[in-house]
């Protein structure tokens, strides 16, 4: 059976919608995460990336509700149907987390190595001594110099990059099959960013993990991901293999993101082209296609919400991708959602 079949998916998010009161934040999101693969989720600030990740981990703020038609299948089991206790066992053991700010994951009053050891004791049933020893090994594995000495430090005594490495060590301590990384490098300088991404990729190999990597930075996503899902105003507007999405974006929003990516070819004295306009707030999204207020290709059809069409290797939520009528156009309507 190939990794492309449903059985090879560690995670499948189906029809995920989340809302605050009547205001939808995330609408009908689908994500497929094959075992050992990296899925990039990219989009502007406020488009709903963190809401999607927090739905998977069921760590949503109390006011935010997941629609009943949503399914979040981890290894075929719907996480939305589990008790808090069942979830606790999965979180931190089978699913690891790395967020933008390492301080949210670290307890300021415990030394680095104790925090890793706590994960091992909780999820692996290790006793104190072996857990400490293994914690030191993990610190070494995530590239912390002098793990014996550095492990004795408290979070505030470490640099941002070192803190994030400690969080990563905690996230992989129990050997999870899935790592959810929400903007794991956004708070770090560029050199450290590259090191952390390289570390995640190397740990992925060693542990055989799948990764969902969230970022607003398309170049970072492009580099690290096998497949990419592009999110705009709470919806996935385009998804497909990373190389296809990057080299031949089919949705005007993705095309705009690709154009605004820095390249070696971009002259330094010329400003980067940006997508004009602003992401509409959740309560202020237009009827029809959500991107039409900013789209240079807007046409009458856009007053109706576009379904998802398959174009080449991508799934695209845009009327421009509608089959032109030619039998060999290679475009197919694959899904119809209101
Ligand atoms: N607790 C909340 N109550 C109501 N709305 C919220 C809440 N938290 C976030 N939102 C709104 O939900 C939308 C999606 O937010 P989300 O945090 O998922 O965006 P994001 O894509 O992760 O952005 P960023 O790149 O800035 O992290 C935003 O418009 C945000 O203002
Ligand atoms: Mg976010």
pLDDT, one tens digit per residue, over 219-254 is: 899 999 999 999 999 999 999 999 999 999 999 999
Q: What's the farthest any 2 CA atoms get from each other in the chain?
A: 69
Residue 310 domain-assigned (yes or no): no
Phi, psi of 104 (to 5 degrees): -70, -25
Is residue 264 a part of any domain in this protein? yes
| Residue 19 domain-assigned (yes or no) | yes
Number of folded domains that form the chain:
1
Dihedrals φ, ψ of 66, to 5°?
-90, 130
Query: Residue 271 has what pLDDT?
Result: 67
Q: Is 337 inside a domain boundary?
A: no
Q: Is 36 part of any domain?
A: yes
Residue 328 forms part of a structural domain: no
- Tell me which ligand sits closest to the C-alpha of residue 45: 1
* DSSP label at residue 206: H
How far is ligand 2, taken at its centre, from the CA of residue 98, in Å? Answer: 12
Q: How far is the CA of 51 from the centre of ligand 1 (A)?
A: 6
**Could you tell me the CATH number of the domain that includes residue 207?**
3.40.50.300
Q: From the CA of 44, which ligand is nearest?
A: 1
Residue 215 has pLDDT above 70, yes or no: yes
Q: Are 168 and 153 in contact (CB under 8 A)?
A: no
**pLDDT tens digits along 134-157:** 999 999 999 999 999 999 999 999
| Exposure string over 304-327, b if 16+ CB within 10 A, otherwise e | ebbbbbbbeebbbbbbbbbeeeee
Confidence of residue 128 (pLDDT cuts 50, 70, 90): very high
Which domain, by its residues, includes 58?
Answer: 6-285
- pLDDT band of 315, cuts 50, 70, 90: very high
Query: Is residue 263 in contact with ligand 1, taking CB distance under 6 Å?
Result: no
For residue 239, is it within any domain? yes
pLDDT of residue 59: 86
Q: What is the pLDDT of residue 187?
A: 87
pLDDT tens digits for 47-73?
999 999 999 988 888 899 999 999 999
| Residues in the 5 Å CB sphere of ion ligand 2 | 49-50
Residue 248 near ligand 1, beta carbon < 6 Å: no
Instruction: Using the atom order of ligand 1, give the atom closest to the CA of residue 282.
Output: 29
Looking at residue 252, what is its pLDDT? Answer: 97
Does 197 reside within a domain? yes
């Amino acid at each position: 059976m190939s990794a492309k079949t449903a059985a090879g998916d560690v995670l499948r998010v189906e029809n995920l919608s989340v809302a605050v009161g009547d205001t939808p934040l995330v609408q009908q999101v689908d994500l497929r995460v094959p075992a050992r693969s990296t899925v990039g989720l990219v989009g502007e600030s406020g488009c709903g990336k963190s809401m999607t990740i927090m739905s998977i981990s069921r760590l949503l703020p109390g006011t935010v509700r997941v629609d009943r038609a949503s399914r979040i299948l981890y290894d075929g089991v719907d996480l939305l149907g589990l008790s808090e206790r069942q979830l606790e066992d999965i979180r931190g053991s089978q699913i690891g987390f790395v967020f933008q700010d390492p301080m949210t994951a670290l307890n300021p009053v415990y030394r680095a190595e104790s925090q890793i050891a706590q994960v091992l004791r909780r999820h692996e049933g290790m006793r104190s001594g072996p857990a400490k020893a293994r914690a030191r090994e993990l610190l070494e594995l995530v590239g912390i110099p002098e793990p014996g000495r550095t492990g004795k430090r408290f979070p505030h005594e470490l640099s941002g990059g070192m803190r994030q490495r400690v969080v990563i060590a905690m996230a992989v301590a129990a050997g999870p099959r899935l790592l959810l990384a929400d903007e794991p490098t956004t708070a770090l300088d560029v050199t450290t960013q590259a090191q952390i991404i390289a570390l995640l990729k190397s740990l992925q190999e060693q542990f055989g993990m799948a990764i969902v990597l969230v970022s607003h930075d398309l170049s970072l996503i492009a580099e690290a991901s096998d497949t990419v899902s592009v999110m705009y105003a709470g919806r996935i507007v385009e998804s497909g293999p990373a190389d296809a999405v990057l080299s031949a974006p089919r949705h005007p929003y993705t095309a705009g993101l690709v154009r605004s990516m820095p390249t070696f070819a971009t002259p330094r004295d010329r400003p980067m082209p940006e997508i004009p306009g602003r992401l509409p707030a959740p309560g202020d999204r237009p009827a029809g296609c959500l991107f039409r207020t900013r789209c240079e290709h807007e046409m009458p059809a856009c007053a109706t919400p576009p379904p998802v069409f398959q174009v080449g290797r991508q799934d695209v939520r845009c009327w421009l991708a509608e089959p032109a009528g030619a039998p060999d156009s290679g475009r197919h309507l694959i899904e119809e959602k209101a």
